[in-house]
Amino acid sequence: MSTYSLNQQVFSLSLMINSQNGNSGDSSDSTSTYEDTLKTDITSWFGDATIQGYLGDSWQISWNPAVYESGQDGANQNLYNLDNALFAAKGSYSFDGTTRNVVVVSVAGTNNTSGFDIVTEDGEVGEKVGLFGAEQREDDTPMIALGNSVALNILTDLTSDAPLLGQTDLLLQNYLAQEADSDTYLIFTGHSLGASLASILAVYLFGSDNPKLSKSDWKDVYVFPTAPPSFGDANFVAAHEALFPLIQNGNSSGTSDDDSAWNGRYVNTLDIVPMAWADNASNDYSNIYASLGIVPTCCLQKVINAAFDGVDGYAAIPEIYTFEGDFEQPFCVAPTKAEKPDF
């Protein structure tokens, strides 16, 4: 019996895929090491009695963690960091007394030791590319940031084993096609960069005039993105909303199987990431931390300014829940005048 709501359980799963962020490998075979370690970590958490008190005991890995390493982390080409990762888990949840299966696809966020993540997947926002390529009509083509498109191509090329199906070397798309069931919910989730990629992946697989997967094969398909930056244009937002309308109290009609909310952004008011890239001209966020008596370092202030200056043509998917931010203590220390470099 779980004590967490389904929203809380899905958020927990979204964090599990990030357990190896911050670690660095030193050889090209560290991809399999990362995958094995993630599998061990997640399996251990699913079997932990304390965690089961929150999540229940039904969750199992259903598509093993898959990892990508670019080997492109600055001058040190022998530093192999985890650049992308995702996995799927299958469990069950009681909706108004009826137990149904739930499959969750969890996408990792930015690895702070990965230059490829920071420079390319997070930072390449100056150019947008079409989500679906030539198959989409030009007048309503959803456009996404170039860096996110690079990540999407990586994620859709990764293969892994599906232990519950007894299948090996499956693309995520092919795994989901075999797992689809009209009584099973499918949820895409991630945090920060992972949230952006989860939403993009969901629209990529279920959108366009020739979708790769069909929502009608599932009980329903949701996205649960926490703290994503704006990563697409207005056409992408329109495609996202058409496929995944905001859901309060479990479904768009307001009557539901479950008291939960889906398909919109969860945002902390003091987190700059979900405020990034869309046009914020009507709001002055440049002094976002001033009321807390926090003076960011000059380098951090440059990041804040860049995020709030916006990049032409980006729009945000709607917010569904906003948390009032609070700090128990400052997250950075203001440098002295002597420490400040000139910019």
Q: Which tens digit of pLDDT belongs to each residue from 122-150?
A: 888 888 899 986 555 567 889 999 999 99
For residue 192, count other CB atoms closer than 10 A to its CB.
21
pLDDT at 335: 37
**How far is the CA of 210 from the CAs of 17, 145, 147, in angstroms?**
30, 22, 24
With a CB cutoff of 8 Å and minimum separation 6, the contacts of 101 are 90, 91, 92, 181, 183, 184, 185
DSSP state of 251: B
pLDDT at 2: 76
For residue 328, count other CB atoms closer than 10 A to its CB.
5
C-alpha–C-alpha distance, residues 191 and 18, integer Å: 9
pLDDT at 268: 85
Would you give per-residue pLDDT tens digits along the chain (343 residues)? 678 999 999 999 999 999 988 777 666 557 888 999 999 999 999 999 999 999 999 999 999 999 998 876 654 555 678 899 999 999 999 887 889 999 999 999 999 888 888 888 888 888 889 998 655 556 788 999 999 999 999 999 999 999 999 999 999 999 999 999 999 999 999 999 999 999 999 999 999 777 899 999 999 999 999 999 999 999 999 999 999 999 876 544 443 445 589 999 998 887 878 877 776 544 555 566 666 676 666 666 666 666 555 567 889 999 888 887 776 654 444 333 333 333 2
pLDDT at 232: 93
pLDDT at 175: 98
CA dihedral 90, 96, 97, 99 (to 10 degrees): -20
Do residues 105 and 95 lie in contact, with contact meaning Cβ atoms separated by under 8 Å? no
pLDDT at 328: 61
pLDDT at 31: 81
pLDDT at 296: 63
pLDDT at 306: 61
The C-alpha angle 130, 214, 227, rounded to 5 degrees, equals 55
Q: How far apart are the first and last CA of the chain?
A: 56
Give the amino acid at 87. F
Model pTM?
A: 0.88
pLDDT at 331: 45
* CA proximity to 12, closest of 65, 66, 67, 54: 54
